[in-house]
Amino acid sequence: MQLFLAPESLPFAIAAAMLAILTGLEMICLLIGFSLGEVVDKAWPGDHGGLSGLMSWLNIGGVPVLILLMLFLGLFAINGFVLQSVAQFIWSPLPGLVAAVPAFGVALPEVRFFSRIVARIVPRDETYAVDLSDFIGRSGDVTVGPLDQGLPGRVRLKDRHGNWHALRARAARTEAPIPIGSKVLIVDHALDIFIAIRAPSDTLTPPNPSFTEHP
């Protein structure tokens, strides 16, 4: 505890506190039927330039952005406390900013490694076991939205095998914003972003009784 509260451990204590806050917020959100992780995924830029390119290297397609952030905060904090403990045992703790540099550098490949393990354990919102074109022509429900021509939202639907998927989607150019809870029809996709229109009544699939809309 003394090392945790020491000034030279401040960057790592902040990271650990942020991890605890994010974990608590996500648990509270899930209890009320809302996912903070989905909001972060929706707000994350869709291109791969700059920071997004780094996030892609860190396996952003395999796990949600929030999970990557929580992994980084936890590993950065652990690396820092271990480094400071070793430095204290040998001589004396390093200045906080000096210790933060190697802790940060080591955390990046650790996040890449552990995110691949997490991706095998945690169910993914999307799966590529089904070809993306197989979703075209299928109808689903808007769960994160409204869908417009801006940042993508989420559409939940079943594939031909009866498995549920949560797809990132935007409304077609000619469509007005489509609110949460609306039935939509997937008509196209660009990379991993699907294009949706309001579903005509004759294309709707029977509702799944186990599906509950977010409040």
pLDDT category at 128 given cuts 50, 70, 90 is very low
Range from 57-61, 141-145, 199-203 that averages highest in pLDDT: 141-145
Q: What is the pLDDT of residue 103?
A: 93
The verdict on whether omega for the bond into residue 207 sits within 30 degrees of 0, i.e. cis, is no
CA distances, 151 to each of 53, 75, 111, 121 (Å): 18, 30, 26, 28
Looking at the chain, the whole-number percentage of residues with pLDDT higher than 90 is 25
Number of other residues whose CB lies within 10 A of the CB of residue 146: 15
Q: What is the pLDDT of residue 160?
A: 76
Q: Which domains does the chain have, with CATH numbers?
A: 2-121 (no CATH), 132-203 (2.40.50.140)
pLDDT, greater one: 19 or 49 = 19
Residue 89 has pLDDT above 70, yes or no: yes
Residue 25 has pLDDT above 70, yes or no: yes
Residue 205 has pLDDT above 80, yes or no: no
Distance CA 80, CA 78 (A): 5
pLDDT category at 54 given cuts 50, 70, 90 is low
Q: What is the pLDDT of residue 196?
A: 92
pLDDT, greater one: 118 or 124 = 118
Average pLDDT, integer, range 37-61: 60
Average pLDDT, integer, range 176-199: 89
Average pLDDT, integer, range 6-29: 88
Distance CA 50, CA 44 (A): 12
